[in-house]
Structure 1
């Protein structure tokens, strides 16, 4: 039997795919939000205009939440910096469809970002909740 150990500086941890990072980040965001008293109403709600990662209620607020996950700031910046104007407009437009379809009681709405930093193995390093992000 021959075994091979990676040389110095070689990371033997398999690299997470974008989808895996997203799923881990959304799971961490939901856990954190529940711990803070939010009720998760929808996850990955989709319509013709787009998708909203999490829709939650918190008191009299209906909160539309974009989750961004990263395994390092690197050249792409922090998770929250990756929510650009185009993404903000898409989330707002998708939220309008949700509100039109739900026709529930009138609630105040808010748009938040939950930024999740992961280590290379996919373990949660930090969860940052930015209220009224846009």
Structure 2
């Protein structure tokens, strides 16, 4: 992905993750949902469960891997954003919820390893 901006690489990683999750039977609810607390990369429906998916992309793992970058501080921001999402999108408020992380290292879509961690953390 030489010459591609970090934002473009992130968008490609999210598209790759979205396609993968859809192939696993999940249905999209929202993408890049923003609020004052942060952003939710993907909000999906897995059966009757609302899944908040954080997509992390690292071209190289020299500064730590993609999965490790979802630290406690990031988890708190995701939980706060998810709470606001459920308040503003009240049709989903009574559904069970979970937080997943998809970590991609390498070049998205080019046989890059995709690691899907379901129930990555609790709120």
Q: Could you tell me the TM-score, scaled by structure 1's length?
A: 0.83
- Other-structure match for 1:31: 19
**Whole-angstrom CA distance in 2 between matches of 1:108 and 1:124:** 32
Deviations 1:23-69 (A, max 9, x none): 11101100000000000110000011110000000101000010001
In the alignment, does 2:113 pair up with 1:126? yes
2:75 partner SS: helix
2:105 partner SS: strand
Cα RMSD for the two superposed structures: 1.7
**Whole-angstrom CA distance in 1 between matches of 2:38 and 2:10:** 16
- Other-structure match for 1:63: 51
In the alignment, does 2:89 pair up with 1:89? no
Q: Could you tell me the TM-score, scaled by structure 2's length?
A: 0.90
State the aligned residue count: 120
- Other-structure match for 1:7: none
Bigger Rg, structure 1 or 2: 1
Q: In the superposition, relative to structure 1, how do residues 123 and 16 fare at CA in structure 2: closer, same or farther (>3 Å)?
A: farther
CA contact (8 A) 2:104 2:114 kept: yes
Deviations 1:64-103 (A, max 9, x none): 01000111111x2110101111110000000000101111
- Other-structure match for 1:110: 98
Deviations 1:93-126 (A, max 9, x none): 000001011111511100010011224x973411
In the alignment, does 2:67 pair up with 1:80? yes
